[in-house]
């Protein structure tokens, strides 16, 4: 079955540590996205990528970094510069053609300890 996989499901980070969240899709989608979701809030776009080796900042990119070396993979690194990283992180993918929605992963819950 085609889908989008996020790992790990739960992640704990110590102060000052960088951590990387994995996102892999086998849907042959061109575009991939990272969102952050805080309790009681909607989705905020962190980064997105429309094609391999290219990505753009979203609304809240500070303290995060991404790479898109392969079409299937779009990992997100939460750096020590992100002062409040505790949140639920969602990865999504989509065909670039109009009329297509997003397919979401099941999310990674990151907690700072």
Select the residue interacting with other proteins from 19, 90, 110, 112 (CB under 8 A). Answer: 90
Number of neighbours of residue 91 by Cβ within 10 angstroms: 27
Select the residue interacting with other proteins from 48, 55, 64, 74 (CB under 8 A). Answer: 48
Select the residue interacting with other proteins from 33, 34, 55, 64 (CB under 8 A). Answer: 33
Report CA-CA distances (Å) from 8 to 21, 41, 57, 75, 108. 7, 22, 23, 12, 6
99 near other proteins, rule: CB under 8 A: yes
Asked whether 60 and 33 are in contact (CB, 8 A), the reply is no
CB under 8 A: which stretch of 12-20, 64-72, 74-82, 90-98 binds other proteins? 90-98
Q: What is the dihedral of CA 7, 81, 14, 67, to 10 degrees?
A: 20
Select the residue interacting with other proteins from 45, 52, 60, 61 (CB under 8 A). Answer: 45
80 near other proteins, rule: CB under 8 A: no
């Amino acid at each position: 079955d085609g889908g989008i996989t996020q790992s790990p499901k739960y992640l704990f980070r110590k102060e000052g540590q960088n951590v990387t969240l994995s996102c892999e899709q086998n849907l042959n989608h061109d575009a991939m996205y990272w969102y952050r979701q805080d309790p009681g809030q909607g989705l905020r776009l962190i980064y997105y990528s429309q094609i391999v080796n290219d990505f753009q900042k979203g609304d809240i990119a500070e303290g995060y970094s991404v790479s898109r070396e392969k079409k299937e993979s779009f990992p997100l690194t939460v750096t020590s510069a992100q002062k409040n990283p505790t949140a639920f992180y969602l990865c999504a993918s989509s065909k670039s053609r109009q009329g297509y929605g997003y397919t979401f992963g099941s999310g990674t819950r990151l907690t700072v300890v």
